[in-house]
Amino acid sequence: MFSDKMNKVYNQLNETDLLILSVILRNFEKIPTIGVEELARMCNTSRTSVLRISKKLEFSGYGELRNYIKWEVDKASSNGFASSITPVETETECTISELKNNKQFEEVVEKIISAKRIFIYGTGQAQRNCANEIQRLFMQAGKYMFVIKATAEFQLLSEELNEDDLVFVISLSGEIERFKDALHLLKMKKTAIVSITSFGNNLLAAEADYRLYAVTLPIQMKNNKLHNSFVSFFAIAEFLFRSYLERTELI
């Protein structure tokens, strides 16, 4: 599958590659009819960049990539599967690949085990839903975490935490303007910070002691709104929990 090819070379991809792939996945069924120049315009990038990512995916060129996608679309159609599931599969598989190759993942699990208190701050509603899910998962194992409800509460708590505590911050964009003072105070106090953000360079990840990345491929809807899936964020929550169970011999 196309998602398998992405997963295989994921660690070689840069932000331009991911942008091109997100456009391909959003227009998966149309790609067989889209030429290389048109795709480059859709991605606001160069023809050379499109050809480069084609090579990274082990195709001889864009033509072979396009034919491969046509074959996959035709196969999905004949089997009755909606090709719209491909971006979700790709997000999940690439996030799993990122976690497997992220040496900090096991360190985060160890910090969860050893931390005296654990707090989770989500920067938006979907992020708070993810924070609540992490809290729910670990509660099953008797590991209690506190979900921070608002930025003002985060600021107040940062004044009370210390080096024995652990703080997760979940953000799609990684922008920290609203709570950067709280982050800087935590760093001064040597409180460990774990960021969970979408893949790519961002300010929150730069400030964090440990960085976990969720691969997300935004979808542009016809009403000009951008849809971001949080499936991969919840996948990280599940992997953290299961790794914790294994490490503490609860399974």
Same domain, 77 and 104: no
Domain that holds residue 195: 99-247
Higher pLDDT residue, 87 or 175?
Answer: 175
Q: If you average pLDDT over residues 125-131, what whole number do you get?
A: 96
What CATH number has the domain bearing residue 64?
1.10.10.10
Total of domains in the chain: 2
User: Is the CB of residue 217 less than 8 Å from the CB of residue 95?
Assistant: no
User: Is the CB of residue 243 less than 8 Å from the CB of residue 105?
Assistant: yes
Lowest mean pLDDT across 55-59, 69-73, 119-123, 133-137: 69-73
Same domain, 142 and 227: yes
Higher pLDDT residue, 247 or 222?
Answer: 247
User: Considering Cα of 166, then 169, then 174, then 175, what sign does the dihedral take?
Assistant: negative
Instruction: Give the model confidence (pLDDT) of 233-251 as tens digits.
Output: 999 999 999 999 999 998 8
State what percent of residues in the chain have pLDDT above 90.
59
Q: Is residue 92 part of a domain?
A: no
Q: Is residue 35 part of a domain?
A: yes
* Buried b or exposed e, range 190-222, using 16+ CB within 10 angstroms: ebbbbbbbbbeebbbbebbbbbbbbbbbbbeee
* Virtual torsion, Cα 234, 240, 246, 251, nearest 10 deg: -40
**In which element (H, E) is residue 239 found?**
helix 231-247
Q: Answer yes or no: is pLDDT of 212 > 90.
A: yes
Which is nearest to 195 in space by CA: 208, 178, 206, 180?
208
Q: Is residue 51 part of a domain?
A: yes
Q: Which two three-digit tokens encode residue 98?
A: 């990122």
CA distance 21 to 31: 11
What's the whole-number average pLDDT of the chain? 88
SS (H, E, C) 9-56: CHHHCCHHHHHHHHHHHHCCCCHHHCCHHHHHHHCCCCHHHHHHHHHH
Q: Is residue 91 part of a domain?
A: no
83, 114, 141: which is the final residue of a domain?
83
Q: Is residue 90 part of a domain?
A: no
Instruction: Give the model confidence (pLDDT) of 17-64 as tens digits.
Output: 888 887 887 788 888 999 999 999 999 999 999 999 999 998 999 999
CA distance 44 to 243: 40
pLDDT, position 114:
96
Distance, CA of 182 to chain centre? 23
CA 89, 235, 97 angle in degrees (round to 5)?
65
Same domain, 113 and 190: yes
Higher pLDDT residue, 221 or 33?
Answer: 33
Q: Is residue 174 part of a domain?
A: yes
Which is nearest to 7 in space by CA: 103, 105, 96?
96
What CATH number has the domain bearing residue 108?
3.40.50.10490
Same domain, 199 and 155: yes
Q: Which two three-digit tokens encode residue 104?
A: 């900090």
Same domain, 67 and 121: no
pLDDT, position 117:
97
Same domain, 65 and 173: no
Q: Is residue 42 part of a domain?
A: yes
Radius of gyration of the chain, Cα coordinates, nearest whole angstrom: 20
